[in-house]
Homo-oligomer: A and B are copies of this chain.
Amino acid sequence: MNYHELVKQIRTKRSFLCIGLDTDIKKIPQHLLSYPDPVFEFNKQIIDATHPYCVAYKPNIAFYESLGSAGWDSLKKTLEYIPENIFTIADAKRGDIGNTSGLYARAFFDKNSSGLDFDSVTVAPYMGEDSVSPFLDYKNKWVILLALTSNKGSRDFQYTKDETGWLFEKVIRTSQRWANHERMMYVVGATHPEEIAHIRSLAPEHFFLVPGVGAQGGSLQEVARNGMNKNCGLLVNSSRNIIYASSTNDFAEAAANEARKMQEEMSTILG
């Protein structure tokens, strides 16, 4: 999905919600464990119930990988089940030397090789340009680069300050030479509301993927006030608050209720 199609979906659905599919076999409702593929069954019912309210789904790859090859099969089925008009994000935080990042790109973008065909992948910037550029060799695919993450540990290195500013600012400035806003987004955590407006000034056109609303404590209103641009420019993620809204038989309905609440709040914000 390209930039213009994504903006169109946001306007049509009046939503900039991304739902994180952090599907943990240890947390899903017990009755699903009798299905042949409980992780897929959970995701299928979540997608059926929530797709009217979101514009993106973000499977968190760790959760699938933790189940070995069976997890990769569940991931493939999940990706195939997501409707065509919804943007897909492999939340993988990959990044390695060029030769190896090229293989990660095959893993997430080349259906003929891995069975997967995501629209985008999250990438860690530590190893620099040649760790990121192989993902950009795939036409119409996106890199979502970590800038300022939502966790406590973001304080450890991302605020390292040289004469030009903080490390996360350097990541944003430097990486804009690698791809424009039609091929790259940035991860900007909702737990740093004081920085979002500033980051927006550094990257006025780019989409930000914003984790940290909900379970991690960030506020949707504050993110929107500080981070929105003329084409919205935000994908706000919620994972646990939606998919684990209930742990019993009504989990999909409960998830839909939470997603709808967020969509309604977003509709008001979009004005």
Which residues of A are at the interface with B, using a C-beta cutoff of 8 A? 22, 24, 60, 62-63, 65-73, 76, 91, 93-101, 103-104, 106-107, 110, 113-116, 124-132, 146, 149-158, 160-162, 167, 170-171, 174, 211, 216
Contact = CB atoms under 8 A, between A and B. Distances in A.
8 contacts: A60-B103, A62-B96, A65-B104, A68-B114, A69-B115, A127-B151, A127-B153, A129-B153
A97 B103 CA distance: 24
A116 B66 CA distance: 9
Given A68-B76, A162-B160, A128 B151 contact: yes
A62 B104 contact: yes
Contacts of A67: 113-114
A68 B72 contact: yes
Contacts of A130: 151-153
B93 A124 contact: yes
B103 A128 contact: no
A70 B115 CA distance: 10
A146 to B, nearest CB: 6
B171 A157 contact: yes
A157 B146 CA distance: 13
Nearest to A122: B96
Nearest to A111: B68
A157 B106 contact: no
A132 to B, nearest CB: 8
A157 B97 CA distance: 14
B153 A160 contact: no
Nearest to A216: B97
Contact of A100 (B62, B113, B126): B62
Contact of A72 (B22, B72, B128): B72
Contacts of A101: 62
Nearest to A151: B97
A250 B60 CA distance: 41
A145 B94 CA distance: 14
B103 A63 contact: yes
Contact of A69 (B60, B76, B128): B76
Nearest to A108: B65
Given A94-B93, A157-B125, A113 B68 contact: yes
A189 B3 CA distance: 37
Given A62-B101, A68-B116, A93-B124, 14 more contacts: A60-B96, A62-B96, A65-B114, A72-B72, A93-B95, A93-B127, A97-B150, A97-B211, A98-B151, A126-B158, A127-B149, A157-B167, A157-B174, A160-B170
